[in-house]
Amino acid sequence: MNSATKIGVVTVSDRASRGEYVDRGGPAVVEYLKATVTSKIELISSVIPDERGLIEATLIELSDVEKCDLIVTTGGTGPAIRDVTPEATETVCDKMMPGFGELMRQVSLTKVPTAILSRQVAGIRSSETGGTLMINLPGSPKAIAECLDAVFAAVPYCLDLIGGGFLETDPARIIAFRPKKK
């Protein structure tokens, strides 16, 4: 019996964490995952302020204690002084996966010239029991979908390679790439 793949969804926003702004990023990630992933998933969502130490602690908690296989963050990837999500992610990861950020920016640049200001990254935090893939996304729901569309085909196989949970996708939305077995 396959257990659920645990996925953490973290919105990083000072205003949303204080209740001054309705979080649209986290719900957009959740909606995307529910529409794209067909295997059983368990979602753990949180909204936190742009505080590097808190972002790091949240990522570690979701990875090491909650045993999330995938963590998707939204927000804190721009050039503003308080935007520190990529730095926090890099601090807690053992391996960085630069192709994710490169492709997300490339796709976003076809939509808006300011995509060059986005600093989303992805990395892996390893443990004895497997790894956690962490992906940073911008805060805009439209940009979240565009970025996930660009990279999500590689996510299930990446989780396979790091000992994470098994994800299957709806091929009408995203065809997950896994090499053919010989």
Q: What distance in Å separates the CA atoms of residue 9 and residue 94, rounded to the nearest whole number?
A: 20
Q: What's the mean pLDDT in 18-34?
A: 96
Average pLDDT across the chain, whole number: 95
In the β-sheet with 130-137, what is the strand arrangement from edge to edge?
41-48, 5-12, 70-74, 130-137, 122-127, 95-96
pLDDT of residue 180: 83
Query: What does the pLDDT average to over 24-45?
Result: 98
* Digit-coded pLDDT (tens) for 8-17: 999 999 999 9
How confident is the model over 125-179, as pLDDT tens digits?
A: 998 778 999 999 999 999 999 999 999 999 999 999 999 999 999 999 999 999 9
Task: Name the residue ranges covered by the structural domains of the chain.
Answer: 5-161
Cβ atoms of 127 and 134 within 8 Å: the answer is no
The answer on pLDDT for 181 being more than 90 is no
Model pTM score? 0.96
Tens digits of per-residue pLDDT, 68-125? 999 999 999 999 999 999 999 999 999 999 999 999 999 999 999 999 999 999 999 9
Residue 128 pLDDT? 75
pLDDT the model gives residue 182: 67
User: What kind of architecture, by CATH, is found in domain 5-161?
Assistant: 3-Layer(aba) Sandwich (3.40)
How far, in Å, CA of 80 to CA of 119, rounded? 11
Amino acid of residue 109: L
Q: What angle do CA 144, 83, 35 make, to 5 degrees?
A: 15
Paired strand residues for 72:
9, 135
Report strand pairing: 130-137 vs 5-12: unpaired
Residues 6+ apart with CB under 8 A from 78: 117, 118, 119, 138
What is the pLDDT confidence band of residue 1, given thresholds at 50, 70 and 90?
A: very low
Instruction: State residue 119's pLDDT score.
Output: 96
Q: How far apart are CA 4 and CA 39, in angstroms?
A: 8
Percentage of residues of the chain with pLDDT beyond 90: 94
Cα 8 to the center of its chain, rounded Å: 8
